Chains A and B, each alone.
Chain A
């Protein structure tokens, strides 16, 4: 085990989250968006596990477990949607999926 402070772990978590979010904001194809989403969820997981370690409490890890459940669901459903988007538009450019614009 390594002696680290919670601030260091949180910095790693925040940094990865920002990179993922930045990618989410600028990427153009839908699959990349999903990947960036995974990245963000992973960053959040790091924070959960770190706090779990800090407080010596397993609840954080339980939460991690639920997050990966949700992530798995989200990936599966998201990919199915991407698949349909591709069938409909012949591409997966997220800018073209704007049927709900005002």
Chain B
């Protein structure tokens, strides 16, 4: 039964991923991405990583996708700007997928032990306590650096998005870039 649920979730994940990647409109992609993240969260629950499942929902579905959606709305693109004439490099994509398949195949034949069922985890696996113990004890320095990275990203985004009050009109800039 649970096995079936796993295959169902995994299949839906692949399906939603395909829709995310190939729907023409970005807004559709973003919505399918939310579904995909929910399914991913389910998968994490299946393998016992409860805390990760919650974080997945909160951070990814709750924050990142919302941000993307917000920007799409902000840009307010007209439809033919977005879709239409997608440059589908089918040859390169096929090549790419084939090589991935080859890698997987190699992995499969070289290590048969990968096919064994995973042993049951320790009782505390996936709990907040175990996670935070590892994080604070072993990775405190990396944790600080990650925080600093977020700060830098904040400043960078502020600088990038900042619009100078002097009204440099777009046509001027556009001409310049054309000339360049």
Contacts and interface: CB of A to CB of B under 8 A. Distances in A.
A–B touch (CB < 8 A): the answer is: yes
A69 B36 contact: no
B143 to A, nearest CB: 8
A58 B134 contact: yes
Contact of A25 (B10, B89, B134, B170): B89
A77 B156 contact: yes
Nearest to A99: B180
A53 B48 contact: yes
B44 to A, nearest CB: 6
A71 B64 contact: yes
Contacts of B47: 1-2, 4, 9, 49-50, 53
Contacts, number: 240
Scoring A54, A76, A89 by chain B CB atoms within 10 A of each residue's CB, the highest score goes to A76
B46 A42 contact: no
Interface SS of B by simple majority: helix
A31 B135 contact: no
Given A7-B108, A22-B97, A92-B75, A1 B46 contact: yes
Interface string B132-176: 011100110010001001101110110011010000001001100
A52 to B, nearest CB: 7
Interface string A14-51: 11111111110111110110111011001001100110
Given A19-B21, A29-B82, A68-B59, A10 B114 contact: yes
B69 to A, nearest CB: 10
Contact of A62 (B131, B154, B163): B131
B174 A29 contact: no
A86 B121 CA distance: 49
A6 B47 CA distance: 10
Given A49-B47, A56-B121, A72-B150, A38 B86 contact: no
Interface in B29-71: 29-30, 33, 36-37, 40, 43-44, 46-49, 51-52, 55-56, 59-60, 63-65, 67-68, 71
Contact of A54 (B87, B118, B130, B150): B118
17 contacts: A4-B46, A5-B116, A14-B103, A16-B14, A19-B17, A22-B97, A36-B20, A38-B60, A56-B121, A58-B131, A66-B146, A69-B149, A71-B60, A75-B67, A77-B153, A91-B81, A92-B81
